[in-house]
Structure 1
Amino acid sequence: MIQIPQNMTEVKVKIAELEELGHTSDEKQVVFEAIQDNAQSLLDEQLEGNYYSCKLHDDTITIFDVIQKPIGEIKSQNASFDADFRQDANKMLIYLDTEIRRVINQR
């Protein structure tokens, strides 16, 4: 089972897996969760643990420290993270990794 889809092919597989388990799923929601979950995974990896959190809202990902204080934001490269993911998920993930590193290094 796919935990965190990293491209549109994996999104479609995840939707099929969820439907097979009897869950209704919406592609837009699965993409949203994939973007947010990938950002959190990259953040956890860079900090070597789950110390900070992030939240996707529209075309911005906000990163929060351990006391839930916002420490930085990442804007999508184009119209939205949804559009970026659909157009080229790998490029978006590389961008996210770079931008998360920038935010962490500024703290």
Structure 2
Amino acid sequence: MIQIPQDMTEVKVKIAQLEELGHKSDEKQVIFDAIQDNAQALLDEQLEGHYYSCKLDGDTITVFDVIQKPLGIIRSQGTNFEADFRKNAQNMLIDIDNKMQKIIDQR
């Protein structure tokens, strides 16, 4: 089972897997969850553990420290993260990773 989709092909597979398990799924929600989960995974990887968190809200991702103090904001490259994911998910993830690294380096 695909845990965190990393492109639109994997989103479609995830939706099919969820429906096989009897869960109704919405493509937009699966994409939102994929962006949120990928951003958190990138953050965890950079910090070598789950110390900070991030939250996707519209066209921004906010990075929080351990006491939930906002450290920085990542904005989408295009109109919003959903459109970026649909257009080129890998490029979007690289951009998030680079911007996240800058936020971490500033702490």
RMSD: 0.3
Partner of 1:67, secondary structure, is: coil
* Percentage of identical aligned residues: 72
The corresponding residue for 1:105 is 105
The corresponding residue for 2:12 is 12
Give how far 1:43 is off. 0.1
Structure 1's unaligned 5+ residue stretches are none
TM-score where L is the length of structure 1: 0.99
The count of aligned residue pairs is: 107
Indicate yes or no: 2:23 matched with 1:23: yes
CA deviation profile, 1:24-73 (whole Å, cap 9, x unmatched): 00000000000000000000000000000000000000000000010000
Indicate yes or no: 2:59 matched with 1:33: no
Distance in 2 separating the partners of 1:88 and 1:25: 22
Q: Structure 1: which 4+ aligned runs deviate by more than 6 Å?
A: none
Distance in 1 separating the partners of 2:68 and 2:3: 25
Structure 2's unaligned 5+ residue stretches are none
